DNA sequence: CTGAAAGCGCTTACAG
DNA sequence: CTGAAAGCGCTTACAG
């Protein structure tokens, strides 16, 4: 069963069948209908390999997640990202091939992606600082999109959440509730995410003409333990609120605050970032910034599809907005 | 850069280059070396689409997991399975395409798998009772392997863990420790897994000439809550040990036993099944049957590869053995 | 709007 | 052991 068969059954040429399948406008409506009928009735699907060879496009995208599978599945972030990517690929009629960074396969994977012609474009999640894949992709000008802004500020196309304004909004919310001694626990220093959220915190204070105080800024590392330690230090400066750059750190902060005999939110309001599943079940439930993770995946595919279709010149960037989820830890009620 | 280029650079024909790439024995050693040198130096990789079209094989396998992505990643089973499958595919030089059963895409996915020629074979995990994909695969005699024995006992190739003898071994271990009133909490009635593990329990008793007592068998549903309820009922019959057909149920059973003021393992020994991560951290740590999940994935790929290479006639079955992980809940020490 | 034909980059009988 | 050639099933200028 191939194009020729369909052509004969429809009384047209192979070319015309191909045009119908590919939605070319240059087909007479009656002819199109006739061919479509045959297509439906035979349940015909064109051979992918032949299509790819003739057109030069496989319509297969690669999704590379540089994590071991075990880690990957511990974190609620990646399932949602994968879901978004797969969903959007379906919309765009792409297939997607998932690669996890099992170290041994890495070099081979890069070769395969770059040279075999199987993959038309790549989505890379959370790249490390010196990812050899990214360098290889850039060097060959292979189409790709990164999810999450690259730390070194390489000139690459990416989609990300707008960490700066999200953090700013969280801080402004605290200010709106009357808090004036607002502390922050930062992410890992040197990471873009950490730096951006700290910038947002600063902009929030500045917007309300509040002075920044060294004693109200403590370094965290995105872990609960780090959040706990940072909060212990911050308590010396008697904050009336704290913005933690991740929910895990917020969880640690809550523990430190409660151990000090203080009440949340009465004495210290707490806001986190991420809206991981446990945030809603904390005591008290955590006010936090929810990231549109699934949409991030979709946006990456959308951008890549545009690049593939229109060959965008400059690396594009897309920032998605977040949602402030208000629960009781900030004292809104 | 294509075969022709390499052929010219090596001073041979396209055919010979192809033979070298495909490890055909019919190439003179010197010639092979010469071509290999050029191949290395140019870092050439043959075009996958052309290869597929000419040979009729894409060397791409599909991995279908009929779960939504959220559920998928909640369970530690699947990451390991995926890891096993991907690892083995790498060994066999296959690429793998992951499909999750997002309901909306299902019909389309089936069509794509069956008709587009993209996929050479499929591995299907944990199929539902009336999976349309399986029926479609059987009807078209499309090569596939199921992970986990099919409930309806359809005549399909599968790999699975030997649930019967694993359960039997767990029970025999309890008997070996002197327990005589051994209860069991079964899995969901009607599932193969549940039935097989119950069979193993029965064989274990019979082997020691212990009579089976209705009061010592309670129906569970693989959940913690189900295990708790089942254990409450079982306690009426004063068991001195219980074999739960899953760790989650064992966890519920432990709670019920402790609430009744009994000690584990002194009063009641407990053995589970699965060895999920929390099993080792229970109080007391849980003796349980560890499944070789990653190997299950590898075995599925191995079997599928054999089918693809040699066209096995009868549906093959492979049963992997498990390991009894002895911790303190069974009273070995 | 439509068809005949070239071409995508391989593999694989076939002949030698 | 090696090469010339057909063929895999499409897409896409090209001509009409």
Over residues B252-311, the pLDDT tens digits come to: 999 999 999 999 999 999 999 999 888 999 999 999 999 999 999 999 999 999 999 887
CB contact under 8 A, B108 and A90: yes
pLDDT above 90 (res B125): no
- Of residues A151, A167, A159, A124, the one with CA closest to residue A274: A167
Single pTM value for the model: 0.83
Interface test with B, best of A63, A69, A70 (most B CBs within 10 A): A69
> Which SS3 state, helix, strand or coil, does residue A186 take?
strand
Instruction: Please name the residue ranges forming H helices in chain B.
Output: 3-10, 14-21, 29-42, 48-55, 69-74, 77-92, 106-115, 132-139, 163-176, 192-207, 224-235, 247-259, 293-310
Question: How many beta carbons lie within 10 A of that of residue A104, not counting itself?
Answer: 10
Position B114 scores a pLDDT of 82
Read off φ and ψ for residue A280, nearest 5 degrees.
-70, -20
Is the minimum distance from the CB of A283 to strand D below 7 Å? no
**Nearest CA distance, B105 vs chain A (angstrom):** 8
Instruction: Considering only the beta carbons, identify the residue of B49, B102, B105 that sits closest to A49.
Output: B49
Tokens of A171: 């801080």
Please enumerate, as own/partner, the contacts of A72-77 that have beta carbons within 8 Å and a separation of 24 or more: A72/A100, A72/B79, A73/B73, A73/B76, A73/B78, A73/B79, A76/A276, A76/A277, A76/B73, A77/A293
pLDDT above 70 (res A177): yes
Give the mean model confidence (pLDDT) for residues A23-30: 90
Buried b (16+ CB within 10 A) or exposed e, A273-284: bbbbeebeebee
- Of chain A, the percentage scoring pLDDT greater than 90 comes to 65
- Distance CA(B242)–CA(B174), nearest Å, equals 9
- Distance CA(A103)–CA(B147), nearest Å, equals 26
- Of residues B135, B207, B136, the one with CA closest to residue B169: B207
- Distance CA(B117)–CA(B56), nearest Å, equals 8
- Of residues A204, A192, A208, the one with CA closest to residue A243: A204
Residue pLDDT, tens place only, A201-252? 999 999 999 999 999 999 998 889 999 999 999 999 999 999 999 999 999 9
pLDDT above 70 (res B127): no
Residue pLDDT, tens place only, A65-120? 877 766 666 667 888 888 899 889 988 889 888 887 765 566 677 777 788 888 99
Strand order, beta sheet including B217-219: B217-219, B182-186, B241-244, B269-274, B287-290, B323-325
Q: Which chain A residues touch B88 with a CB distance below 8 Å?
A: none
DSSP assignment of B174-185, as one string? HHHTT--SEEEE
Read off φ and ψ for residue B79, nearest 5 degrees.
-55, -45
Q: Cis check for the bond before A254: say yes or no (omega within 30 of 0).
A: no
Is residue A294 within 8 Å of residue A307, measured between CB atoms? Answer: no
- Mean pLDDT across chain B: 89
Are β-strands A269-274 and A241-244 bridged in parallel, bridged antiparallel, or unpaired?
Answer: parallel
Q: Which residue has the higher pLDDT, A51 or A313?
A: A51
Residue pLDDT, tens place only, A34-67? 999 999 999 899 999 999 999 989 999 999 887 7
């Amino acid at each position: 069963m191939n194009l020729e068969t369909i052509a004969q059954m429809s009384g047209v040429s192979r070319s015309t069948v191909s045009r119908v399948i590919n939605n070319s406008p240059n087909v007479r409506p009656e002819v199109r209908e006739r061919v479509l009928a045959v297509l439906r009735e035979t349940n015909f699907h064109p051979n992918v390999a032949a299509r790819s060879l003739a057109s030069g496009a496989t319509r297969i995208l690669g999704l590379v997640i540089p994590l071991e599978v075990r880690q990957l599945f511990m974190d609620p972030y990646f399932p949602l990202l994968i879901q978004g990517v797969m969903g959007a690929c379906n919309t765009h009629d792409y297939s997607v091939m998932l690669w996890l960074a099992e170290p041994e396969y890495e070099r081979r994977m890069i070769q395969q992606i770059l040279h075999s012609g199987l993959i038309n474009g790549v989505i890379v999640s959370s790249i490390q600082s010196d990812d050899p894949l990214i360098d290889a992709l850039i060097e060959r000008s292979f189409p790709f999109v990164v999810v999450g802004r690259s730390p070194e500020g390489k000139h690459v196309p990416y989609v990300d959440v707008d960490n700066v304004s999200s953090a700013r909004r969280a801080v402004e919310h605290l200010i709106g509730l009357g808090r004036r001694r607002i502390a922050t626990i930062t992410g890992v220093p040197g990471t873009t995410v950490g730096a951006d959220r700290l910038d947002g915190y600063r902009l929030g204070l500045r917007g309300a003409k509040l002075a920044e105080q060294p004693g109200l800024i403590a370094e965290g590392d995105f872990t609960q333990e780090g959040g706990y330690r940072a909060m212990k230090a911050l308590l010396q400066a008697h904050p009336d609120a704290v913005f933690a750059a991740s929910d895990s750190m917020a969880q640690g902060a809550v523990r430190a605050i409660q151990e000090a005999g203080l009440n949340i939110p009465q004495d210290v309001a707490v806001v986190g970032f991420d809206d991981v599943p446990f945030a809603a079940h904390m005591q008290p439930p955590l006010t936090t910034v929810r990231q549109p993770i699934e949409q991030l995946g979709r946006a990456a595919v959308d951008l890549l599809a545009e690049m593939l279709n229109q060959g965008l010149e400059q690396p594009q960037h897309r920032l998605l907005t977040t949602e402030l989820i208000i629960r009781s830890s900030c004292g809104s009620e």
